[in-house]
Amino acid sequence: MLMKIISSLLIIICCSLLGVHMSHRYTQRINNIRELRNVLSQLETEIVHYSTILAHAIRKSSKSVKGDWKPVFDNIVEALESRMEYSLSEVWQESLRSLKHNPNIHKAEYEIMQRFGLQLGNSDKISQEKYFQLTQEQLKIEENSAREERLKYSRMYYNLGILLGLGIAIILF
């Protein structure tokens, strides 16, 4: 009997944790987008107002970034400073690829950043400023939709986890 209770409790805890994990992804996505928007706004200042060389600008802006985008920016800076023959867009796409299957990053923001990488650095300040604004707007839309999704699904996954655990425990009991 004791064994049964303990194992049932274990099942409930595991399933709840699974639910928490699933619902946590929605929060993570929002955090990632927010961090990204921070980096971009700093990068915009460095580029448009200070004309900082791109590698330095990215390094400076991404210094305090947290979350899943950090290694991507580190990777880009390193590749640019090694001065290999790759073009910036190749470096950018290659570094981004590591996030392709990341559950905390949706296809939408991934594609926004992919497009952004094609324009970064290769035009005058006025055009650069426009690309930054456009990207910021698109990311803002994604941030809002991520918030809505969190409202909708985060709670649901959380409850689903507990209920699933309870369900399995009841069936097995």
Of the residues 85, 101, 107, 171, which one makes contact with another protein according to CB under 8 A: 85
Interface with another protein (CB under 8 A), residue total 21
Give the length of the chain.
173
Q: How far is the CB of 130 from another protein (least distance, A)?
A: 12
Of the residues 5, 53, 151, 156, which one makes contact with another protein according to CB under 8 A: 53
Q: Pattern 61-80, binding to another protein, x per CB under 8 A? A: -------------------x
Give the integer Cα–Cα distance in Å for 41 and 47.
Answer: 10
Note whether 57 and 86 are within 8 A (CB). Answer: no
Which of these ranges, 27-35, 84-92, 93-101, 146-154, lies near another protein under the rule CB under 8 A? 84-92
Q: Would you state the structure tokens that stand for residue 109, as one six-digit string?
A: 């923001």
Which of these ranges, 25-33, 83-91, 109-117, 159-167, lies near another protein under the rule CB under 8 A? 83-91
Give the integer Cα–Cα distance in Å for 10 and 6.
Answer: 6
3-state per-residue secondary structure call for 28-74: HHHHHHHHHHHHHHHHHHHHHHCCCCHHHHHHHHCCCCCCCCHHHHH
Q: How far is the CB of 84 from another protein (least distance, A)?
A: 7
Of the residues 14, 121, 138, 143, which one makes contact with another protein according to CB under 8 A: 121
Note whether 131 and 119 are within 8 A (CB). Answer: yes
- Contacts with another protein by CB under 8 A lie at 47-48, 51-55, 57, 80, 82-85, 87-88, 121-125, 128
